[in-house]
Structure 1
């Protein structure tokens, strides 16, 4: 396995990308930086499916539009005319589309499927499961949707 490490001076995630030579476009990324707290913490290791279909609410691995040598992990809020509007889960930090605008689809590398270390957590439920977790009766169970990786913001502009 080869490892690429990218350094950054701001607080955004700094992944270490490990890729194998297999047929399935899946890789493992180490996250660094607090921008995705409480979903992902510095030191978390996540599985990325490269080229996966993107939908609002998904956690993505993208190239930073201003510094394309930097990879960042952000949540897709919505698809706009110029690309994906990405937000950090930690609303107190910037370094998302509020700072750099929409990210063109060609800079989206993949979708984060799951956290594998230090604890296992699913971050990409199927669309039907996400809808079921947000409706009654499952939507009334506190924390159940979040346990399956469903995270909804009140407004993409927050």
Structure 2
């Protein structure tokens, strides 16, 4: 993440898990500490992989609260064939939802 003023950051999308909404190389403006709401795109910290290795930060869609634990968030990928989401690793603690997307800057601006 690149830093901007007012809690804003720049994030490059890596990978194809959010296609067709976001593509590899898209540039997002995100706000750290923004309120989390369902159907928003977020930068999240997923749990370590099966070998205990930390995963890189990920861009996912917050789909809602975990029905089994409403204090946690459920996140999903838009491309069901690629990537990791709550269906594979479970829901996330609120501290693992790091920032909320405000807009996509490149290749052309649009709200996410």
Structure 1 segments of 4+ aligned residues over 6 angstroms from their partners: none
RMSD of aligned alpha carbons: 1.4
Cα pair 2:16 2:83 within 8 Å, conserved: no
1:74 aligns with 2:60: yes
- Shift, 1:94, TM fit: 3.9
Give 1:93-132 correspondences, 5 Å limit. Answer: 93-123=82-112
Q: The residue matched to 1:78 in structure 2 has which SS? A: strand
1:31 aligns with 2:13: yes
TM-score under structure 1 length normalisation: 0.63
**Number of corresponding residues:** 105
TM-score under structure 2 length normalisation: 0.87
Equivalent of 2:27 in 34, 45, 67: 45
Partner of 1:144: none
Higher alpha-carbon Rg: 1
More helix by share: 1
- Shift, 1:83, TM fit: 1.1
More strand by share: 2
- Shift, 1:28, TM fit: 0.4
Give per-residue Cα distances to partners, 1:86-112, cap 9 Å, x unaligned.
Answer: 100112224111110001101111101
Instruction: Point out where structure 1 has 5 or more consecutive residues left out of the alignment.
Output: 1-16, 124-158
- Shift, 1:69, TM fit: 5.6
Partner of 1:18: 2
